[in-house]
Amino acid sequence: MSELRQPLPPFTRETAIQKVRMAEDGWNSCDPARVSLAYTVDTIWRNRAEFANGRDEVIAFLTRKWNKELEYRLIKELWAHDGNRIAVRFAYEYRDDSGNWYRAYGNENWEFADNGQMHRRFACINDMPIREEDRKFFWDRSGPRPADHPGLSDLGL
């Protein structure tokens, strides 16, 4: 538990929002090794119908994910928080290798260890095909979502 990931629980509304944005920025990097550092070594995941236990399985999962989900862009929004738990809703857009675009909608429940790393993550996600002209998430893939880019509520999602 020596790897501190600020902010630490228990979360206030402000620190929960900060934690959500940090997670969004990490996932938008599409760097499995970087993302895995936000989780405990023995993290437990359910993502759709797939389960991952520990960072090595998380890295393998994310590598497969981002090899299939191209031009990935994600927006997360705080839904609720209490103590060491945070619930978020999110949407992300991506295209597959055939050029088909999708917007995925979902919810995640997170539980954090005392050191601020996520210990448990449960995600429910649904994909919806969209036309390329219906995309809403636009920013340079070389960095996080800009502060002035609308969030989910602002986009009516």
Containing structural domain, residue 96: 13-134
Residue at 23 is within a domain: yes
> What's the pLDDT at 2?
63
The answer to whether residue 1 scores a pLDDT higher than 90 is no
> What's the pLDDT at 38?
97
C-alpha Rg value of the chain to the nearest Å: 15
pLDDT in tens, 91-145: 999 999 999 999 999 999 999 999 999 999 999 999 999 999 999 999 988 789 9
pLDDT in tens, 83-93: 999 999 999 99
Residue at 30 is within a domain: yes
- pTM value > 0.85: yes
Strand 101-112's sheet: what is its strand order?
50-53, 39-47, 118-130, 101-112, 85-95, 70-82
CATH number, residue 102: 3.10.450.50
Residue at 20 is within a domain: yes
Q: What is the mean pLDDT of the chain?
A: 96
Domain count across the chain: 1
Percent of the chain's residues with pLDDT above 70: 99
